[in-house]
Structure 1
Protein backbone atom coordinates (compact mmCIF):
# COMPACT_ATOMS: atom_id res chain seq x y z
CA UNK A 1 0.00 0.00 0.00
CA UNK A 2 1.28 3.45 -0.91
CA UNK A 3 0.67 6.88 0.61
CA UNK A 4 1.44 10.22 -1.01
CA UNK A 5 2.69 13.38 0.71
CA UNK A 6 2.43 16.78 -1.02
CA UNK A 7 5.17 19.24 -0.10
CA UNK A 8 6.85 22.46 -1.11
CA UNK A 9 9.51 24.52 0.66
CA UNK A 10 8.98 25.59 4.26
CA UNK A 11 6.88 22.58 5.20
CA UNK A 12 6.61 22.04 8.94
CA UNK A 13 9.43 19.52 9.37
CA UNK A 14 7.78 17.32 11.99
CA UNK A 15 4.49 17.27 10.11
CA UNK A 16 6.18 15.78 7.07
CA UNK A 17 8.73 13.45 8.65
CA UNK A 18 6.68 12.08 11.55
CA UNK A 19 3.92 10.70 9.27
CA UNK A 20 6.48 9.60 6.67
CA UNK A 21 8.40 7.45 9.15
CA UNK A 22 5.34 6.35 11.12
CA UNK A 23 3.66 5.09 7.95
CA UNK A 24 6.85 3.34 6.87
CA UNK A 25 6.96 1.65 10.28
CA UNK A 26 3.54 0.25 9.42
CA UNK A 27 4.99 -1.24 6.24
CA UNK A 28 3.54 1.33 3.87
CA UNK A 29 5.41 2.80 0.94
CA UNK A 30 5.45 6.60 1.18
CA UNK A 31 6.23 8.94 -1.71
CA UNK A 32 6.69 12.70 -1.66
CA UNK A 33 5.41 14.77 -4.58
CA UNK A 34 6.24 18.38 -5.36
CA UNK A 35 6.21 20.83 -8.25
CA UNK A 36 9.76 19.76 -9.17
CA UNK A 37 12.30 17.15 -8.16
CA UNK A 38 14.52 19.75 -6.47
CA UNK A 39 15.22 19.23 -2.78
CA UNK A 40 12.57 20.82 -0.56
CA UNK A 41 13.62 22.43 2.72
CA UNK A 42 11.45 22.57 5.80
CA UNK A 43 11.05 25.50 8.17
CA UNK A 44 13.64 24.00 10.53
CA UNK A 45 16.06 23.12 7.74
CA UNK A 46 15.33 19.43 7.23
CA UNK A 47 15.44 18.41 3.60
CA UNK A 48 13.43 15.99 1.50
CA UNK A 49 13.96 15.05 -2.13
CA UNK A 50 10.62 14.55 -3.89
CA UNK A 51 10.10 11.17 -5.52
CA UNK A 52 7.88 12.57 -8.24
CA UNK A 53 6.23 15.73 -9.50
CA UNK A 54 2.54 16.51 -9.28
CA UNK A 55 2.30 15.88 -13.01
CA UNK A 56 3.52 12.31 -12.51
CA UNK A 57 1.05 11.43 -9.74
CA UNK A 58 -1.51 8.75 -10.56
CA UNK A 59 -4.01 8.90 -7.72
CA UNK A 60 -5.12 5.32 -8.35
CA UNK A 61 -1.62 4.18 -7.28
CA UNK A 62 -2.09 5.51 -3.73
CA UNK A 63 -4.29 4.55 -0.81
CA UNK A 64 -4.04 7.86 1.03
CA UNK A 65 -2.80 11.44 1.00
CA UNK A 66 -0.97 13.48 3.65
CA UNK A 67 -0.75 17.27 3.56
CA UNK A 68 1.74 18.63 6.09
CA UNK A 69 1.52 22.20 7.30
CA UNK A 70 3.92 25.08 7.64
CA UNK A 71 4.09 27.41 4.68
CA UNK A 72 4.07 24.54 2.19
CA UNK A 73 0.27 24.35 1.71
CA UNK A 74 0.19 27.99 0.63
CA UNK A 75 2.66 27.08 -2.12
CA UNK A 76 1.07 23.74 -3.01
CA UNK A 77 -2.41 25.20 -3.41
CA UNK A 78 -1.37 27.54 -6.23
CA UNK A 79 -0.48 24.53 -8.37
CA UNK A 80 -3.62 23.49 -10.25
CA UNK A 81 -2.47 19.89 -10.65
CA UNK A 82 -1.87 19.58 -6.90
CA UNK A 83 -5.40 20.80 -6.21
CA UNK A 84 -6.72 18.27 -8.76
CA UNK A 85 -4.85 15.52 -6.91
CA UNK A 86 -6.61 16.46 -3.67
CA UNK A 87 -9.98 16.53 -5.42
CA UNK A 88 -9.33 13.13 -6.97
CA UNK A 89 -8.43 11.54 -3.62
CA UNK A 90 -11.61 12.96 -2.11
CA UNK A 91 -13.83 11.90 -5.01
CA UNK A 92 -12.47 8.36 -4.79
CA UNK A 93 -13.17 8.27 -1.05
CA UNK A 94 -9.51 7.76 -0.21
CA UNK A 95 -8.17 9.05 3.13
CA UNK A 96 -6.90 12.63 3.06
CA UNK A 97 -5.00 13.76 6.15
CA UNK A 98 -4.19 17.46 6.56
CA UNK A 99 -2.48 19.02 9.56
CA UNK A 100 -1.83 22.59 10.67
CA UNK A 101 -2.07 24.77 7.53
CA UNK A 102 -2.71 21.68 5.37
CA UNK A 103 -6.48 22.30 5.25
CA UNK A 104 -5.75 25.36 3.09
CA UNK A 105 -5.42 22.88 0.26
CA UNK A 106 -8.85 21.45 1.09
CA UNK A 107 -10.26 24.98 0.90
CA UNK A 108 -8.74 25.36 -2.57
CA UNK A 109 -10.24 22.00 -3.53
CA UNK A 110 -13.66 23.33 -2.43
CA UNK A 111 -13.92 20.41 -0.03
CA UNK A 112 -14.65 21.92 3.38
CA UNK A 113 -18.28 23.08 3.26
CA UNK A 114 -20.30 21.23 5.89
CA UNK A 115 -17.31 19.13 6.93
CA UNK A 116 -16.13 18.84 10.56
CA UNK A 117 -12.49 19.96 10.66
CA UNK A 118 -9.70 21.41 12.74
CA UNK A 119 -6.48 23.23 11.86
CA UNK A 120 -3.86 25.62 13.13
CA UNK A 121 -5.75 28.48 14.75
CA UNK A 122 -4.32 30.92 12.19
CA UNK A 123 -6.51 29.48 9.44
CA UNK A 124 -9.55 28.72 11.61
CA UNK A 125 -11.45 31.72 10.24
CA UNK A 126 -10.59 30.71 6.67
CA UNK A 127 -12.07 27.26 7.25
CA UNK A 128 -15.19 28.70 8.85
CA UNK A 129 -15.61 31.24 6.04
CA UNK A 130 -15.35 28.37 3.53
CA UNK A 131 -18.14 26.54 5.36
CA UNK A 132 -16.28 24.10 7.60
CA UNK A 133 -17.64 23.15 11.00
CA UNK A 134 -14.58 24.01 13.07
CA UNK A 135 -13.66 21.98 16.15
CA UNK A 136 -10.69 22.81 18.37
CA UNK A 137 -9.52 19.25 19.03
CA UNK A 138 -6.26 17.33 18.46
CA UNK A 139 -7.80 15.34 15.62
CA UNK A 140 -11.10 15.45 13.79
CA UNK A 141 -12.24 12.70 11.46
CA UNK A 142 -15.09 13.39 9.06
CA UNK A 143 -15.56 10.51 6.67
CA UNK A 144 -12.29 10.06 4.80
CA UNK A 145 -10.84 13.42 5.91
CA UNK A 146 -8.55 13.61 8.94
CA UNK A 147 -7.43 17.00 10.26
CA UNK A 148 -5.21 18.09 13.13
CA UNK A 149 -3.98 21.38 14.54
CA UNK A 150 -0.23 21.22 15.16
CA UNK A 151 2.85 19.03 15.72
CA UNK A 152 1.73 18.15 19.26
CA UNK A 153 -1.26 16.40 17.68
CA UNK A 154 0.82 14.13 15.44
CA UNK A 155 0.35 10.93 17.49
CA UNK A 156 -3.44 11.30 17.22
CA UNK A 157 -3.26 12.39 13.58
CA UNK A 158 -1.12 9.43 12.51
CA UNK A 159 -3.09 7.04 14.69
CA UNK A 160 -6.36 7.93 12.97
CA UNK A 161 -4.77 7.86 9.51
CA UNK A 162 -3.30 4.41 10.12
CA UNK A 163 -6.61 3.15 11.50
CA UNK A 164 -8.44 4.33 8.37
CA UNK A 165 -5.77 3.00 6.01
CA UNK A 166 -6.00 -0.44 7.62
CA UNK A 167 -9.70 -0.52 6.75
CA UNK A 168 -9.01 0.59 3.19
Structure 2
Protein backbone atom coordinates (compact mmCIF):
# COMPACT_ATOMS: atom_id res chain seq x y z
CA UNK A 1 0.00 0.00 0.00
CA UNK A 2 1.34 3.43 -0.87
CA UNK A 3 1.28 6.19 1.71
CA UNK A 4 -1.57 8.62 1.25
CA UNK A 5 -0.39 12.20 0.66
CA UNK A 6 -2.11 15.07 2.44
CA UNK A 7 -1.44 18.68 1.47
CA UNK A 8 -1.87 21.54 3.93
CA UNK A 9 -1.97 25.10 2.62
CA UNK A 10 0.55 27.59 4.00
CA UNK A 11 0.70 31.36 3.53
CA UNK A 12 1.46 34.57 5.43
CA UNK A 13 -0.73 34.99 8.55
CA UNK A 14 -1.91 31.37 8.81
CA UNK A 15 -3.27 30.26 12.17
CA UNK A 16 -0.49 28.32 13.91
CA UNK A 17 -2.43 25.47 15.50
CA UNK A 18 -4.69 24.97 12.50
CA UNK A 19 -1.70 24.15 10.31
CA UNK A 20 0.66 22.35 12.69
CA UNK A 21 -1.83 20.24 14.68
CA UNK A 22 -3.16 18.41 11.56
CA UNK A 23 0.34 18.32 10.04
CA UNK A 24 1.73 16.24 12.91
CA UNK A 25 -1.48 14.41 13.88
CA UNK A 26 -1.86 12.94 10.39
CA UNK A 27 1.82 12.02 10.33
CA UNK A 28 1.24 10.06 13.55
CA UNK A 29 -1.38 8.08 11.62
CA UNK A 30 1.14 7.28 8.87
CA UNK A 31 0.06 9.78 6.23
CA UNK A 32 2.60 11.81 4.28
CA UNK A 33 1.77 15.42 5.12
CA UNK A 34 3.38 18.42 3.50
CA UNK A 35 2.81 22.16 3.19
CA UNK A 36 1.79 23.86 -0.04
CA UNK A 37 2.55 27.55 -0.48
CA UNK A 38 2.62 30.10 -3.26
CA UNK A 39 6.37 29.43 -3.67
CA UNK A 40 8.29 26.26 -2.81
CA UNK A 41 10.98 26.89 -0.22
CA UNK A 42 9.65 30.27 0.86
CA UNK A 43 8.98 30.78 4.58
CA UNK A 44 5.62 32.16 5.63
CA UNK A 45 5.09 33.48 9.16
CA UNK A 46 1.92 32.75 11.09
CA UNK A 47 -0.30 35.27 12.85
CA UNK A 48 1.94 34.78 15.86
CA UNK A 49 5.26 34.80 13.98
CA UNK A 50 5.86 31.04 13.77
CA UNK A 51 7.60 30.18 10.50
CA UNK A 52 6.46 27.56 8.00
CA UNK A 53 8.50 26.74 4.93
CA UNK A 54 6.41 25.72 1.93
CA UNK A 55 7.62 22.23 1.10
CA UNK A 56 5.85 22.33 -2.27
CA UNK A 57 4.82 25.26 -4.44
CA UNK A 58 1.25 25.53 -5.71
CA UNK A 59 2.46 25.24 -9.33
CA UNK A 60 3.87 21.78 -8.55
CA UNK A 61 0.71 20.31 -6.99
CA UNK A 62 -1.93 18.34 -8.81
CA UNK A 63 -5.14 17.26 -7.09
CA UNK A 64 -4.68 13.79 -8.57
CA UNK A 65 -1.56 13.33 -6.41
CA UNK A 66 -3.34 14.14 -3.13
CA UNK A 67 -5.53 11.99 -0.93
CA UNK A 68 -6.80 15.02 1.03
CA UNK A 69 -6.38 18.78 1.32
CA UNK A 70 -6.48 20.81 4.54
CA UNK A 71 -7.08 24.56 4.61
CA UNK A 72 -6.12 26.25 7.88
CA UNK A 73 -7.58 29.56 8.95
CA UNK A 74 -6.12 32.79 10.17
CA UNK A 75 -5.92 35.54 7.57
CA UNK A 76 -4.11 33.37 5.01
CA UNK A 77 -7.34 32.26 3.27
CA UNK A 78 -7.93 35.87 2.25
CA UNK A 79 -4.75 35.64 0.14
CA UNK A 80 -5.44 32.16 -1.29
CA UNK A 81 -8.97 33.08 -2.36
CA UNK A 82 -7.52 35.73 -4.68
CA UNK A 83 -5.30 33.19 -6.45
CA UNK A 84 -6.88 31.05 -9.17
CA UNK A 85 -4.27 28.31 -8.65
CA UNK A 86 -5.39 27.72 -5.08
CA UNK A 87 -9.07 27.98 -5.96
CA UNK A 88 -8.62 25.45 -8.75
CA UNK A 89 -6.87 23.02 -6.39
CA UNK A 90 -9.69 23.31 -3.85
CA UNK A 91 -12.42 22.93 -6.47
CA UNK A 92 -10.70 19.95 -8.14
CA UNK A 93 -10.16 18.19 -4.80
CA UNK A 94 -13.79 18.66 -3.87
CA UNK A 95 -15.14 17.63 -7.26
CA UNK A 96 -12.96 14.50 -7.27
CA UNK A 97 -14.63 13.34 -4.05
CA UNK A 98 -11.48 13.51 -1.91
CA UNK A 99 -11.55 14.85 1.65
CA UNK A 100 -11.40 18.64 1.40
CA UNK A 101 -11.18 20.17 4.86
CA UNK A 102 -11.23 23.73 6.19
CA UNK A 103 -11.17 25.20 9.66
CA UNK A 104 -12.01 28.69 10.86
CA UNK A 105 -11.59 31.25 8.03
CA UNK A 106 -10.54 28.43 5.68
CA UNK A 107 -14.18 28.13 4.60
CA UNK A 108 -13.65 31.35 2.63
CA UNK A 109 -11.93 29.14 0.07
CA UNK A 110 -15.13 27.14 -0.41
CA UNK A 111 -17.09 30.38 -0.89
CA UNK A 112 -14.68 31.65 -3.54
CA UNK A 113 -14.39 28.24 -5.23
CA UNK A 114 -18.18 28.28 -5.53
CA UNK A 115 -18.74 24.78 -4.15
CA UNK A 116 -21.08 25.50 -1.23
CA UNK A 117 -24.57 25.51 -2.72
CA UNK A 118 -26.72 23.35 -0.44
CA UNK A 119 -23.76 22.02 1.56
CA UNK A 120 -23.77 21.88 5.38
CA UNK A 121 -20.68 23.28 7.05
CA UNK A 122 -19.30 25.25 9.95
CA UNK A 123 -16.68 27.99 10.21
CA UNK A 124 -15.56 30.86 12.40
CA UNK A 125 -18.73 32.77 13.25
CA UNK A 126 -17.43 36.01 11.70
CA UNK A 127 -17.67 34.51 8.19
CA UNK A 128 -21.04 32.80 8.72
CA UNK A 129 -22.74 35.39 6.48
CA UNK A 130 -20.18 34.78 3.71
CA UNK A 131 -20.84 31.04 3.89
CA UNK A 132 -24.61 31.51 3.79
CA UNK A 133 -24.41 34.06 0.98
CA UNK A 134 -22.37 31.51 -1.01
CA UNK A 135 -25.22 28.99 -0.62
CA UNK A 136 -23.90 27.03 2.35
CA UNK A 137 -26.00 25.87 5.28
CA UNK A 138 -24.25 27.00 8.47
CA UNK A 139 -24.24 24.76 11.54
CA UNK A 140 -22.61 25.75 14.84
CA UNK A 141 -20.86 22.45 15.66
CA UNK A 142 -17.25 21.42 16.40
CA UNK A 143 -17.09 19.53 13.11
CA UNK A 144 -19.50 19.15 10.20
CA UNK A 145 -19.04 16.50 7.53
CA UNK A 146 -21.11 16.76 4.36
CA UNK A 147 -19.85 14.19 1.91
CA UNK A 148 -16.15 14.87 1.40
CA UNK A 149 -16.40 18.43 2.78
CA UNK A 150 -15.08 18.60 6.36
CA UNK A 151 -15.24 21.81 8.38
CA UNK A 152 -14.58 23.08 11.91
CA UNK A 153 -14.83 26.41 13.71
CA UNK A 154 -11.82 27.06 15.96
CA UNK A 155 -8.54 25.59 17.24
CA UNK A 156 -10.40 23.99 20.17
CA UNK A 157 -12.24 21.86 17.55
CA UNK A 158 -9.01 20.40 16.13
CA UNK A 159 -9.36 16.95 17.78
CA UNK A 160 -12.79 16.43 16.17
CA UNK A 161 -11.59 17.97 12.88
CA UNK A 162 -8.62 15.62 12.62
CA UNK A 163 -10.69 12.56 13.62
CA UNK A 164 -13.11 13.32 10.77
CA UNK A 165 -10.28 13.74 8.24
CA UNK A 166 -8.58 10.52 9.39
CA UNK A 167 -11.87 8.60 9.22
CA UNK A 168 -12.33 9.59 5.57
CA UNK A 169 -8.71 8.82 4.70
CA UNK A 170 -9.00 5.33 6.21
CA UNK A 171 -12.07 4.38 4.13
Post-superposition Cα deviations, 1:48-100, rounded to whole Å, max 9, x if no partner, equal 11111111101111100000000011011111111000011011100001000
The alignment status of 1:13 with 2:16, answered yes or no, reads yes
Aligned residue number for residue 119 of structure 2: 115
Q: Is the 8 A contact 1:11 1:41 kept in 2?
A: yes
Post-superposition Cα deviations, 1:84-134, rounded to whole Å, max 9, x if no partner, equal 000110111000010000010011110111000000001001001111110
Q: Is the 8 A contact 1:146 1:157 kept in 2?
A: yes
Q: TM-score, normalised by structure 2?
A: 0.96
Query: Equivalent residue of 2:170, what SS?
Result: helix
Taking only aligned residues, the RMSD between alpha carbons, in angstroms, comes to 0.7
Q: Is the 8 A contact 1:7 1:76 kept in 2?
A: no
Aligned residue number for residue 129 of structure 1: 133
Aligned residue number for residue 79 of structure 1: 83
Aligned residue number for residue 164 of structure 1: 168
Gap runs ≥5 in structure 2: none
Moved more, 147-156 or 46-55: 46-55
Aligned residue number for residue 32 of structure 1: 35
5 Å-filtered alignment, 1:93-108, equals 93-108=97-112
C-alpha distance in structure 2 between counterparts of 1:141 and 1:27, whole Å: 22
C-alpha distance in structure 1 between counterparts of 2:8 and 2:80, whole Å: 11
Total equivalences in the alignment: 167
CA positional deviation for 1:29? 0.5
